């Protein structure tokens, strides 16, 4: 049975994490389906943006590491699959908006952070509570470490402290807070606005952002100038067309 539901609302593709009985936790199968759906969205010119949400009352409570089984090979495959989701999000080339319909914990929190924009339900909580279960946010750390000041990061990790939606908004982890019933509509609307510009230029710019991460100043400037030249050429083509 599929664990990702794919639907269309105009030019916006809505991807729904569909394991409500398991807190929409991302296991190896769901990770593979989500990465494949994001890659398909990049290739589909009719898709201008994507919205990522969860089925039921939660967004995502993290990765389903227990579902990977007790073997080293199974756990390694789970880690690889979860990392592949973040890679697919980065290479989407189109606006990606989280409709945080409920709690986003652990790896689910990292997915929210990895989206370009996020609209959160007013009663949602967000955070990294892994320590309360004898773990550490190992996979999430690669994403959230750049989004939070160090002392705040370790505060929520060491204390397994969950933030409410308003605190997350004040920290620019989500863009807006809305009643749960309208979160998805608000996210689709935000995605529609975000993709209302030249898609070739948006893809070049978004790809540039991710390509520059970890690059030194000289390399980043080189990437920037090549992207600018490509964007100007795309704009010229579109004007002639």
Q: How many helices (H) and strands (E) does the chain have?
A: 9, 10
Rounded Cα distance, 96 and 112, in Å: 10
* In contact, 4 and 17? CB cutoff 8 Å: yes
Q: What is the phi/psi pair of residue 119, to 5°? A: -115, 125
- Using CA of residue 66, residue 155, residue 164, residue 189, what is the dihedral sign? negative
Tokens found for residue 38: 């994001």
Residue 24 has what DSSP assignment? T
Which residue is associated with the tokens 């505060």? 155
- 139 burial type by CB count under 10 A (0-12 exposed, 13-18 middle, 19+ buried): buried
Rounded Cα distance, 241 and 229, in Å: 18
Which residue is associated with the tokens 């089925």? 55
130 is catalytic: yes
Q: Which of 5, 77, 130, 167 is catalytic?
A: 130
Question: Among residues 88, 81, 77, which one has the least CA distance to residue 35?
Answer: 88
What is the H or E stretch that residue 90 is in? helix 72-90
**Residues noted as catalytic:** 130
């Amino acid at each position: 049975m599929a664990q990702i539901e794919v639907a269309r609302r105009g030019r916006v593709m809505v991807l729904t994490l569909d394991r409500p009985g398991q807190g929409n936790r991302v296991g190896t199968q769901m990770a593979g389906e989500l990465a494949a759906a994001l890659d398909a969205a990049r290739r589909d010119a009719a898709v201008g943006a994507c919205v990522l949400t969860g089925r039921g009352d939660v967004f995502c409570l993290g990765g389903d590491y227990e579902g990977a089984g007790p073997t080293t090979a199974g756990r390694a495959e789970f880690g690889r699959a979860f990392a592949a989701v973040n890679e697919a999000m980065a290479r989407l080339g189109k606006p990606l908006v989280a409709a945080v319909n409920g709690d986003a914990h652990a790896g689910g929190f990292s997915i929210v952070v990895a989206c370009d924009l996020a609209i959160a339900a007013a009663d949602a909580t967000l955070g990294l509570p892994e320590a309360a279960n004898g773990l550490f946010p190992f996979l999430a750390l690669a994403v959230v470490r750049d989004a939070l000041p160090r002392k705040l990061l370790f505060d929520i990790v060491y204390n397994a402290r969950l933030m409410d939606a308003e605190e997350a908004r004040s920290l620019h982890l989500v863009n807006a807070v809305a009643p749960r019933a309208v979160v998805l509509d608000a996210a689709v609307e935000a995605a529609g606005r975000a993709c209302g510009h030249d898609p070739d230029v948006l893809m070049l710019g978004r790809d540039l952002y991710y390509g520059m991460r970890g690059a030194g100043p000289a390399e980043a400037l080189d990437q920037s100038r090549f992207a600018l030249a490509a964007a100007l050429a795309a704009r010229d083509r579109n004007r002639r067309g």
